[in-house]
Structure 1
Amino acid sequence: MRGSLSLGLATSVVASIASAQSAAVSLGPAATTVTTSPSAAPPYFSGEAVQLTDEVLVKVAAALKNETLSRVFAFGATNGTSAAVNGSRHSCKVLPGDAAWPAGSTWSIFDQLLGGSLIKPAPLAAYCYPDWPQYDADKCSDITTDWFDGYFQSSDPASIMLPLYEGRTCMPTGYNWTTTCTQGAYPAYVVNASTAAEVQLAVNFARNQNLRLVVKNTGHDFNGKASGKGALSIWTHNLKDKAFYPSFEADNGYSGPAVKLGTGVQAYEAYEFAKESSVTVIGGEGATVGVAGGYTFGGGHSPLSSLYGMAADQVLALEVVLPDGRFITATSKQNSDVFWMLRGGGGSTIGVVTSLTVRAYPKLPTTTVTFNYTISDAPSVNAFWASIGAYLDNFERLVDAGSYGYYYLGASSLEFGTSYAGDTDYYFRMESLVAPNMTIAETKTLLQPWYDALDALNISYTPWYNHADNLHVLHTHYRKVLTDWSSHDVWEVAFPLESVGSDVVKTASRLLPRSVFEAEELRNQTLLAHKDAIEKQGLFIAGFHITGTGLAIEPPTDNAVLPAWRDALAHVIVGSEWNFTSSWDTVYDWTLFVTEWMDVMRGIAPDSGAYMSEGDLLEPNLQEAFYGSNYPRLYELKQQYDPTGLFFALTAVGAEGWEVQTTDPLPYSWNNNGRLCPK
């Protein structure tokens, strides 16, 4: 096996630890409260002030009375010189059952030092399987009912939004392709982090024990970055602190209102807080997405991107635990390399962020528009497809006005996805068009040329307009509907809660630049690609008219956002579907087909790229597509700060040096259900 574990030294370490633990060890949390706040960022949240320091580790060593055991929790060497306890910078990560896997007593000491925040999770659907001790038929029924709910999935310490990428190993009754439940790529242990010290300990423990480390905020990731077979997971979901600063002076020269968010804050929570503070913050359209997690670190597109740019553009300061376990503040002047990398260079790459400080904007009156039509609302098939062409013809004008549109296109009587190749139940759904800083009348004027084209084609459609004096009013109304179904909720219609938890979809994406929409021939090729995907291939499309260059602000030149975002006018996601009971052979075929079909879109925009957070795991020329010209510097920093490869995720910076030796009948690195080894 390539990169096999150095078992001799590792076994001796385990033996030494076991010997040291022959007498009972009683420890309290390994932490101290730091009273000095960072100079270039808002004060620490209370949990961030609780930190692991050299002085604390000296006390831990004195209590343990064993140098080998103490080193398990020690900081790494700084500036790219750290190495794991087993002495190997590049070896396979250990799995449960390996000789080098930490003994139960080691995990017990780790938990004591954490203050009791260590969890040994079972898969969420284990309640449905009689051979699991968690089996409970009533709970299984509840889990099955709630399985596709984002709030439900994000509140579990181990579950992820797309279980295809953990191996489909434990799905609830009715959604399972087998009759078994195994741990798969759900983590072996989880640290429920509430302090910086707990994150630091987890980082040190994983690095020094050569464990695979993953980070879960909400698990809302298109490629399952929060999963990993045998991994130790850091669960940041409960870092929910929020603070508003009416006036903040940032190192990058920004002066104005700012909001500091714990990394577990989700979109609906950020929007509620912004509304209470009478400001606007940038976040995704999905209510359950973690704003301060991989969303922002991967760039983060938003209903306000055409006005204010990407989520990564808003970041003023970050609090980060680095791969060596040290807790730092990163700004444009302090730890500036880390600051640059984390604003657009992707999550699960160079550290664990506990909070970030972002720009806040004034309250923004906003109009949203929702409408749909099907083939039954068109006089002919040709008229239907001509209507899609009319939308594409208006992309440049709509984006340049600062608006954002989220549309679905497919063939299904359910008006969701595409049922099968050749289905003629075509539908178009404008999930929501967002017109910031516009009244309903102004929005109607903006859309009138598009409407005129639809009217000329005799398309029947009925736009539904909603307006509020603050965009976040539209967002936060969504939460009310969860407990008061009698209310008529504008946000539910504008941005209904997206379904998660399914293992029956594979997607790929492409950014289409302005040049595509300026040239009639390229617009026509884009229309033909949409038509081919739906009519002939059995695919579906979820797309956006959007750009990463906001009208209202100059985009930063000092972050790692994919350059293709700055010239984009469209973000097009193409997907395939199969059944819950489909075999791995079917998954393999459809997965490969989507990647290959996307060559059509890549051919239309060969010099563009793809949004890493909603991209294809098998994207050709992945580093160029997801990171563009930033990749060489990103890779250099990755090797400098994380030479042992502690932080790994499929598609992340440096991932090409590793492989997941997948145990499912798939090629290596097609999901996270396997041992992680260097290539």
Structure 2
Amino acid sequence: MKGIWGLGLVASASLAAGAAVKTTVAATSVSDASSFSYESIQLTDSVLKDVSTQLENQTLANMFAFANSSTSSKQTKRSLFHSCKVMPGDFLWPIDLIWDIFDALLGGSLIKTVPLAAYCYPEWPEYDATKCETITADWLTSNLHMSDPTSIMLLLYEGRSCLPSPYNYTGTCTQGAYPTYAVNVSTVAQIQLAVNFARNLNLRLVVKNTGHDFNGKASGKGALTIWTHYLKEKEYYPSFKAANGYVGPAVKFGSGVQVWEAYEFAKSVGHSVVGGEAVTVGLGGGYTAGGGHSPLSSMYGLAADQVLSMQVVLADGRFITASSTENSDVFWMLRGGGGSTIGVVTSLVVKALPKLETTSVTFNFTVSDTPGPDAFWAAVKSYLDNFETFVDAGTYGYYYIGASSAEIGTTYAGDTDYYFRMESFLAPNMSLAETKALVAPWFETLDNLNVTYTPWWNTADNFHDTWEVSFPQEYVGTDVVKTASRLLPRSVFQSDDLLNQTWAAYKDGIDKGLFIAGFHISGTGIAVEPPKDTSVLPAWRDTLTHVIVGSEWNFTSSWDVVESSTLFVTEWMDVLREIAPDSGAYMSEADLLEPNLQEAFYGVNYPRLYELKQKYDPTGLFFALTAVGAEDWEVQTVDPLPYSWNNNGRLCPKSS
């Protein structure tokens, strides 16, 4: 076998020779998006043939081969015999030489990972007191975790295994569910190599852009991570003709683009785009694949509704374009059917929306700013009374309710330090005067209740500038919260009885030690008709609020406290499930223990989604705890929790 470094040079030359020529986009209407530079470098059969020749070892070459009917059959057969994903220390785990060859083929982009906080622990070779001090100071900021190949923002789901003091559950640091290796991808070919390598060697595979996901999809014990964070290319098409008949402006984004980058770019070309509320959200991953709610959703619908085409590396390693006419079943599935399911999106083309004058208002009040608890809860009720009006005007509100002098979370059950915080009420396509007129009846009710509050108004001639000041970066990096959620439909707010039940439920939850983070929002924008060819949970189309309910504990709380708190919030949510039994939950901000989660997250679409999962990923290469097909697998959690409560354990076909 030739030297590894020579192999790397030959492989790089082969990949370059196999690169597709990037097409030039004319100023006139185009019917297909050109490939980004990183998408033009692809793994092909001819490239793999060259690699096989250089390796002079067919067994090695097969590790990087595309799936075919023969290999798929063998993999499926192994799965039927309950073959768990291979873990470090297993007999079949690749030896270091294999990882070196893989790295050489990747051009040196393989990372042997360590937990981000390992720099704080003397038993780790990476120990560095100065670096630890910096990491600890920045631990609660999103940027720190986004720039690491394996760190995630909600650490409960990787096993609380390595946090710096004072955030650590114990005084030790272990790898936990932080993946063992990561590929810092800069080309489609590298993604294809990683997909093929993981599938052929039966490794657990996860995908990370920022690690924002509420349920820790980017974590996995012993896994290989495809890190898409630096796929940042963007391109504007003044006139784009989509396969579904849409003709108009569009933007193509790389899958590493975050919403703040997408918003900035859209502003620079005189448009708006649908993206998430939080700065940390990645546009092209599980956010859009899971539906994707947005401050613009009550105007234009969900993120999945905006997609005109996308490019994807499937579980067999092949790179495809998907649209309403080309690979249309993949297109349908990845517009609402969830991330980490059948492939890795490398880019997507989305509608460029009009430049929107946008206004926001932010304010808060506590029980001390009212005549007492009755007035406080009457003020909360007055907000719920206006949900239908606010959503039908195309607005979006992000609100918190709890009981805490710090005005975050709920300190303890029975605390009466109630607060209401309007993180931001955002009115796209509305002037300051129009927004003030819209909220005037609500504010009049607050005034009549003798509520003291101070609105902070922002307005700009574009969406980005108002969004930027209205939704600051949120705190992350802790393991002290467990959440569940429910979508409540319009019918709840058109029934006095159901509305009163909802209001009573809010108060009951807070009094029992929970907190609420909610949104007034619709998945059916007032400016457009939602597309028919998406797998978005149908309940989104009739929603007026997405309600997240959470339980908290301390940094040093035991696993027993975590388990009891988790069970409590799941059980309490039955109150909202009974109020809206035919609705569902937003899969990306939902409860891992959601009863009948296939129905709650996917609705009537689930049977077809499951069928497509078996078609495109028969070996279960892609997995997430809330994803399509998750019921076929279990994470054999090593923490003192039931299986599949987090990602810190071996992934195996589910026990019969």
Shift of 1:423: 0.9
* Counterpart Cα distance in 2 of 1:26 and 1:648: 32
Match of 1:57 in 2: 48
Report the secondary structure of 2:486's partner residue.
Answer: strand
For residues 236-635 of structure 1, the aligned pairs below 5 Å read 236-475=228-467, 478=468, 491=469, 494-535=470-511, 537-635=512-610
Shift of 1:474: 2.3
Residue 35 of structure 1: which of 12, 18, 21 is its match? Answer: 21
Shift of 1:82: 5.2
Amino acid at match of 1:553: V
Shift of 1:86: 9.3
Does structure 1 conserve the Cα–Cα contact (< 8 Å) formed by 2:234 and 2:253?
yes
* Counterpart Cα distance in 2 of 1:294 and 1:122: 24
* Counterpart Cα distance in 1 of 2:564 and 2:6: 53
Amino acid at match of 1:211: L
Deviations 1:201-231, CA, capped at 9 Å, x for gaps: 0000000000000000111111100000000
* Counterpart Cα distance in 1 of 2:288 and 2:558: 35
Match of 2:27 in 1: none
* Counterpart Cα distance in 2 of 1:85 and 1:340: 25
Report the secondary structure of 1:531's partner residue.
Answer: helix
Deviations 1:221-278, CA, capped at 9 Å, x for gaps: 1110000000000000000001111010000100000000000000111111111111
Question: 2:626 matched to 1:651?
Answer: yes
Shift of 1:638: 0.1
Does structure 2 conserve the Cα–Cα contact (< 8 Å) formed by 1:121 and 1:188?
yes
Q: Percent identity?
A: 69
Report the secondary structure of 1:201's partner residue.
Answer: helix
Shift of 1:27: 2.9
Distance change >3 Å, CA 624–CA 80, structure 1 → 2? farther
Does structure 2 conserve the Cα–Cα contact (< 8 Å) formed by 1:86 and 1:208?
no
Does structure 2 conserve the Cα–Cα contact (< 8 Å) formed by 1:33 and 1:49?
yes
Shift of 1:453: 1.3
Match of 2:209 in 1: 217
Residue 7 of structure 2: which of 26, 38, 52 is its match? Answer: 26
Amino acid at match of 1:617: L
Match of 2:123 in 1: 131
Amino acid at match of 1:551: I
* Counterpart Cα distance in 1 of 2:494 and 2:567: 32
Distance change >3 Å, CA 92–CA 446, structure 1 → 2? same
Shift of 1:37: 5.3
* Counterpart Cα distance in 2 of 1:172 and 1:36: 46
Deviations 1:422-480, CA, capped at 9 Å, x for gaps: 111100011000111111111111001111211121111111111000011224xx4xx
* Counterpart Cα distance in 2 of 1:632 and 1:56: 37
Distance change >3 Å, CA 616–CA 79, structure 1 → 2? farther
Does structure 2 conserve the Cα–Cα contact (< 8 Å) formed by 1:124 and 1:159?
yes
* Counterpart Cα distance in 1 of 2:520 and 2:268: 30
* Counterpart Cα distance in 2 of 1:149 and 1:662: 28
Superposition RMSD in Å: 1.6
Residue 157 of structure 1: which of 125, 149, 152 is its match? Answer: 149
Moved more, 63-72 or 49-58: 63-72
Shift of 1:87: 5.2
Amino acid at match of 2:502: T
Distance change >3 Å, CA 544–CA 62, structure 1 → 2? same
Match of 1:12 in 2: none
Deviations 1:159-182, CA, capped at 9 Å, x for gaps: 001111000000012100101100
* Counterpart Cα distance in 2 of 1:529 and 1:346: 29
Match of 2:652 in 1: 677
Does structure 1 conserve the Cα–Cα contact (< 8 Å) formed by 2:4 and 2:104?
no
* Counterpart Cα distance in 2 of 1:91 and 1:60: 29
* Counterpart Cα distance in 2 of 1:168 and 1:271: 33
* Counterpart Cα distance in 1 of 2:463 and 2:8: 49
Question: 2:194 matched to 1:202?
Answer: yes
Shift of 1:25: 6.6
Distance change >3 Å, CA 65–CA 121, structure 1 → 2? same
Amino acid at match of 1:530: Y
* Counterpart Cα distance in 2 of 1:320 and 1:409: 40
Distance change >3 Å, CA 371–CA 298, structure 1 → 2? same
* Counterpart Cα distance in 1 of 2:551 and 2:71: 42
Question: 2:635 matched to 1:660?
Answer: yes
Shift of 1:320: 0.2
* Counterpart Cα distance in 2 of 1:609 and 1:465: 34
Amino acid at match of 2:366: T
* Counterpart Cα distance in 2 of 1:383 and 1:271: 39
Shift of 1:26: 3.0
Shift of 1:84: 3.6
Shift of 1:534: 0.7
Amino acid at match of 2:383: Y
* Counterpart Cα distance in 1 of 2:365 and 2:118: 41
Shift of 1:78: 6.0
Amino acid at match of 2:462: N
Amino acid at match of 2:487: L
The number of aligned residues is: 643
* Counterpart Cα distance in 2 of 1:550 and 1:68: 53
Shift of 1:293: 1.4
Does structure 1 conserve the Cα–Cα contact (< 8 Å) formed by 2:321 and 2:327?
yes
Report the secondary structure of 2:253's partner residue.
Answer: strand
Amino acid at match of 1:170: C
Does structure 2 conserve the Cα–Cα contact (< 8 Å) formed by 1:80 and 1:640?
no
TM normalised by structure 1 equals 0.93
Report the secondary structure of 2:39's partner residue.
Answer: coil
* Counterpart Cα distance in 2 of 1:68 and 1:86: 19
* Counterpart Cα distance in 2 of 1:469 and 1:443: 14
Moved more, 447-456 or 618-627: 447-456
Deviations 1:554-593, CA, capped at 9 Å, x for gaps: 0011101110000000000000110000000000000111
Does structure 2 conserve the Cα–Cα contact (< 8 Å) formed by 1:85 and 1:208?
no
Distance change >3 Å, CA 218–CA 82, structure 1 → 2? farther
Does structure 2 conserve the Cα–Cα contact (< 8 Å) formed by 1:303 and 1:434?
yes
* Counterpart Cα distance in 2 of 1:297 and 1:579: 33
For residues 89-238 of structure 1, the aligned pairs below 5 Å read 91-238=83-230
Match of 1:7 in 2: none
* Counterpart Cα distance in 1 of 2:234 and 2:485: 33
Does structure 2 conserve the Cα–Cα contact (< 8 Å) formed by 1:80 and 1:642?
no
Amino acid at match of 1:300: G
Report the secondary structure of 2:37's partner residue.
Answer: coil
